[in-house]
Each structure stands twice: as structure tokens, then as C-alpha cells.
Structure 1
Amino acid sequence: MLKDYQLLLGSASPRRHELIYLMNLPYRIVKMRVDESYPLHLKGADIAEYLSRKKSMAYFKNLTDKEILVTADTIVWHKDEALEKPESRQNAIEMLHRLSNDWHQVFTGVTLAHLSLQTTFSVCTEVYFETLTDEEIEFYVDDYRPFDKAGAYGMQEWLGVVKVSKIKGSYTNVVGLPTAELYIQLRNFIRSIDSEND
């Protein structure tokens, strides 16, 4: 699928690196600094898509016609509010108390960019946490320090493994990249580039 193109992953996330690697897609990591603020009127999927496009535009001027850039952003959405990366230990604890014994949504927005074409899509997964005790929350925050994770948790870590009892949708989306949908979208994206160049 990528024989004519170099795939670039615009992300510092080790979880996204691992997922792309597991997809058996050859790729190269590119880094950029992006202000992750967004217009406050945006909600849910619109926030994740906006931020993935913002990350894409930060590197776009460096692309060549043989490169495809993938950027992504994941947010946790609970009761009409985005739970972003926690700013402190107390903030992380408060977030997890909010998620306890309830459903929340995880949105990942993904942007694919080539010099001749750009597309953005998002995937939503619903996640249910069983009741989290004070002791469990404090143990997780202190031992796993989830300060680089939206919603203050990693699905693939201890809290996700022992306390997420129900999930509706893509597991890898919660980890940080909806790999099945990305595979479909990337294949169609390359076909569209090729047809434009014919």
C-alpha cells in the first residue's frame, strides 16, 4: 500500500508509535510543537478533529510529494465536557472520581495530509468504569503518573485493565489511534492521490 510513499507520524506518543508499528506500516516520526488550544464552542469529535488538523498544519510546509503525514488527537468527553491531560496530581484524582461508575466517550481525530490532498475523520468509543475507590485512584495516579493522558488514564495500564468492564467501539481508539479505521482511510487516501496524479 505504501510502496510509493513514505508515511510520517506526527506524534510524540509512544502508544501511537506502537500501534502504527503493529499495523506493519513502515513509518518515520516527525516532531513539532503545537499549541493545543481550541475554540471553546467546539464539542466532542469536533475538538479532536480540529486539533489533529492543527497538528497537521504545523508540519505541512515540510512535506514532499512522496510523503503522507498522519496526525491525531484524543480527548475524553464526559457529561458535555472535555477532560484533557491533568495539570496536577489533584486534578488527575478529581478526573478519575468523575469517571467512576459511569460511561464516557473517547474521541480520536485523525488527519491524513499529502501535498495534493487532506482529509480528517474521527472515531468514538464508549467506555465504562466500575466504581473507583479513593485508594485505587491514588495508587494509580501515584504509581502510573498519567499526566500525559487525556482523562488521566491509559486504557492499556492497570486502571484500564482492572476497572474498565464495558466498551462499545474500537479498543485501539481509546489507546490513541483507531487502527482499523485508519487502515481503511489510508488505503482510500492513497487511491485518491494516485487518481489525481494519473
Structure 2
Amino acid sequence: MISKIKEKRINLVLASSSPRRKELLEKMGFSFTLERVDIDEVITSKDPDVAVREIAVHKAEACRSRLRAEDLLITADTLVYASGQFLGKPKNHKEAKEMIQCLSGSIHEVYTGVAICYKGEIHSFAEKTQVEFYELEESDIAYYLTHYAYLDKAGSYGIQDWIGLIGVKRINGSFENVMGLPTSRLYQELRRILEE
């Protein structure tokens, strides 16, 4: 499929400020340009699957007017859903600590919505991964919040960081989805769109 993108002279554009999404797309073997998108990420649905897709589509709509004919735009949004509530990015240390405490010793879900805009059409999908944490000690939570960046992460944690290494008991679904981009599903969706 990568050769098909080159043959069709498609310019992939990732509209995201997430270093993890950039890293994952690079690991997939794609060449792409980065675009910044700033929108108010307002959650309008109580259904996490719908909520993340709506935000991803809203990001794509915000960028659509800047696209050229050969551009294929990818946007995404990730939310953690725990105890019946959405956990986005924390605003401060206190909120981050409360989020990690909420996740400790329990199972939560990570949803990533992805929107792909190509030839004027927006396609979207959502992916869900279940994550179970061991019971975390307060000292572990304090260590993580002191030594690692958390303000740019849904649910205040990066599964690829120290807290994921010591705290995650098991996951059911895509590891990369928890990082912010469900790579294998994205690849399949891109293949389907380019074959239409």
C-alpha cells in the first residue's frame, strides 16, 4: 500500500501535535507532513466511540480548507473512559493524580477516533482497547508524576512510559491505540479508501 501512495502521488498529512502519533506513523513507513490543528475538543456524546470520532472529524473539518487535491489528511483523538466518565488530558498535577488514582486497580477503556479526509470525503472509525492496572502505591503515582510528562496524555499516562511498564496488568486490544493511533486498523482503513 505504501507503493500505491507513492504511485498516486498522494501527500499524507498528519494533523496532530502528538509526538506519539508522529512516531507511530513514521514506524508504519509513511512519509508525511505535519499540520497543527487547534480546536475546542468538546465532548457532545456520552458514547465514547461516538465522542472520539466526532472530535477527530471536527479536527479534519478544521483542516479541510487548507488541503490540496493530492492530500490525504489523518486526524485522531484519544480518550480514556473509566468508571462511567471521560478522562481527557489533565489540566494540572492535582487532576493528573486523581486520574491515575481512578485507574489504579481497575479496568478502563481507551478509545481513539480517527478521521481520514481524501478527495473531499471524510471517513472515520474508532478503536477500543481495555487496559487493566495493578493497584498502584501512592509512592509509584508520585514518582511517575514527578519524572514523566503527563499533561499531554489522555488519562494522564503513557502506556509506553514507566507507569505502563510497572502498572499495566493486561491489555485487550491494540497497544498502539493506547498510545494514540491504532496503526493496524488505520493501515486497513487506508487500504480500503484507496481502493474505492
Name the TM-score, length of structure 1 as normaliser.
0.94
Match of 2:58 among 48, 54, 59: 54
Match of 2:16 in 1: 11
List per-residue Cα deviations over 1:16-36 (Å, max 9, x = no partner): 000000000111101121111
The whole-number CA distance in structure 2 between the counterparts of 1:43 and 1:120 is 15
Match of 1:142 in 2: 146
SS in 2 for 1:166: strand
Within-5 A mapping of 1:105-144: 105-144=109-148
8 Å CA contact 1:104–1:127 kept in 2: the answer is yes
Match of 1:160 among 159, 164, 171: 164
8 Å CA contact 1:10–1:69 kept in 2: the answer is yes
Structure 2 counterpart of 1:36, which letter? E
List per-residue Cα deviations over 1:127-148 (Å, max 9, x = no partner): 0000111110011011113011
Instruction: Tell me the C-alpha RMSD between the 2 structures.
Output: 0.9
The whole-number CA distance in structure 1 between the counterparts of 2:28 and 2:130 is 23
The gaps in structure 2 that reach 5 residues or longer are none
Match of 2:28 among 23, 26, 36: 23
8 Å CA contact 1:43–1:80 kept in 2: the answer is no
SS in 2 for 1:38: coil
Match of 1:184 among 182, 188, 191: 188
The gaps in structure 1 that reach 5 residues or longer are 193-198
Alpha-carbon distance, 1:45 to partner: 1.1
The whole-number CA distance in structure 1 between the counterparts of 2:62 and 2:117 is 11
List per-residue Cα deviations over 1:32-74 (Å, max 9, x = no partner): 21111122x4321111101100110110011112110000000
8 Å CA contact 1:84–1:150 kept in 2: the answer is yes
SS in 1 for 2:160: coil
Match of 1:196 in 2: none
The whole-number CA distance in structure 2 between the counterparts of 1:97 and 1:79 is 12
Aligned residues: 191
Most deviating of 84-93 and 101-110: 84-93
Name the TM-score, length of structure 2 as normaliser.
0.95
